[in-house]
Structure 1
């Protein structure tokens, strides 16, 4: 079976953990163990997040510019490509440490977006360090950056457009067809757009799960899995919460899931199922082998209604 796995942020950094190489490595070792357990029986593409990692690089850029004002910060597309290499390196190394017979390749992948996407007219995605209102206004006066209030501080906001194409789709296919576990589209892919016959980097953030869905469609995956904290629940956190075993896009349409957490994930899996290419699932990274057999997590398939555990 050809499977696209979208790794949530908890696979790289647990809530409350400091963003150190040691902590990231420790979490990646656990993630690699789950993925390696299924990698010999299936064709696997791994898409991972990079939000905290890009944020850290942005802070380091900002701190260095204070020391050296003539050193302008690197743009977000370049920082995104850096994190693809960093996280991909750790993942491929730990996968091989678990099973030296696995062939693993990390591919820095460009994801194309449209300049006409309405997201560019209304940047909403917070990135980078926090600033006082005074300092944020100073930066806005000196540059084209946009800042908005995030609690009592201000942070930069950038657009989050829809992904439209995976530039290196053929390379991903070639690597899969020659027996590789492929790590691709890290952080949603390096954002680029077309200027005539050229591709150029864009200052934006692409949702990892939406890129994972697009990739799953593009390479005709049989299964698209978003690995996060757990299954989809009805009334999560309330006394009558119930864990979904099997759900359909039609059944899920009757619920409102939080926009900042489960909402985009549900949208992504439903989009893949509605494409008619295969099924999708949402569940815990550490139950991956059981998600594939529908013994854990929530399977999303065509049809009507919802089945609970």
Structure 2
């Protein structure tokens, strides 16, 4: 099958870990092993990934430097795509040496009047306690919001409308190249009146971008990998139970946390409903078992 595989942030940084190069490398190595299992099973992969912690760290580093050294989020997103893609490409290449692998910086068109620009919701960067988050927000002009038990900076997250490099990606895939692309949801751009593109200050949700990419490429399956083994009803309560199968018609993403499982379920449901093909959500280590319908949550009509 042709599968778009979206690696969650846990592929690069486990909860509570410092964002060091060594930790990222070790976690990417684990992710590469899961991807290699899918390749060995005969599947053609297009790999996407998150970048929330990384792009937030780059923004902090830029802010700590000279005043004229600050870069907007679209440029920092491009930097993180290259950095993370490099790690995935190198670690996966060591396990699948007979495969051609390429990382492609990916622009994703959004609407300039998307309401998300007025309602920042996408968490980026490290976590803080509430007092520190509010102090940094006052000092740096950030908007901050709760993220689980901690607080983080939040930025605009407009809906992706078009993967601008989709034809290039399709060409590479047709020639047997495993493409790593749309990292962090891709680089958000808007179209000018003359048809040229301009980056905007935002971070696109990786799961929605992955679902759009899967539709544009005619993928057979969308696979969203995270650090939870399945979608759970009543998650976090004694009544929690895994949901093995979901119909996109019956899903209300609003009943799941917006900061974690909600976007994944909404993106998977959109893909399944619009294409009639399956999407699945589950744990990174279970990737092959999920594809074989032995683990995870399947979302299909």
| Deviation at residue 133 of structure 1 after TM alignment | 5.2
Q: Secondary structure at the match of 1:260?
A: coil
SS of the residue 2:16 aligns to: coil
**1:52–1:128 CA distance, 2 compared to 1 (3 A):** closer
Partner residue of 1:307?
none
- Partners of 1:203 and 1:26 in 2: CA distance: 31
Q: CA deviation at 1:205?
A: 1.0
| CA distance, structure 1, for counterparts of residue 240 and residue 135 of structure 2 | 44
Cα distance change of structure 1 residues 293 and 136 upon mapping to structure 2, 3 Å threshold:
closer
Does residue 25 of structure 1 match 2:25? Answer: yes
Report how far residue 93 of structure 1 moved: 0.7
SS of corresponding position for 1:258: coil
Equivalent pairs, count: 293
Deviations 1:56-106 (A, max 9, x none): 111111111xxx33x231111111111111111111111111121111110
SS of 1:275's equivalent in the other structure is helix
For 1:1-309, list aligned pairs within 5 A.
Answer: 1-40=1-40, 41-64=42-65, 68-69=66-67, 71-128=68-125, 136-137=137-138, 139-140=140-141, 146-148=142-144, 157-196=154-193, 197-229=195-227, 230-253=229-252, 256-302=255-301
What is the DSSP-based 3-state SS (H/G/I as helix, E as strand, rest coil) of the residue aligned with 2:47? strand
The DSSP-based 3-state class of the residue aligned with 2:275 is coil
| Distance change >3 Å, CA 253–CA 36, structure 1 → 2 | same
CA contact (8 A) 1:45 1:183 kept: yes
Q: Aligned partners of 2:298 and 2:8: how far apart in 1?
A: 17
TM-score under structure 2 normalisation?
A: 0.90
**TM-score normalised according to structure 1 size:** 0.88
* Distance (whole Å) between structure 1 residues aligned to residue 28 and residue 96 of structure 2: 14
Larger Rg computed on CA atoms: 1
Show CA shifts across 1:190-224 (max 9, x none).
11111122101100110000000000111111100
Structure 1 stretches lacking a partner, 5+ long:
141-145, 303-309
Considering only aligned residues, what root-mean-square deviation do their CA atoms show, in Å? 2.3
Query: How many Å separate the matches in 1 of 2:221 and 2:151?
Result: 40
> Could you tell me how far 1:122 is from its partner in structure 2?
2.3
Deviation of residue 126 (structure 1)?
A: 4.0
Query: Deviations along 1:136-180, whole A, 9 cap, x unmatched?
Result: 44544xxxxx534669x9965421110000000011001100001
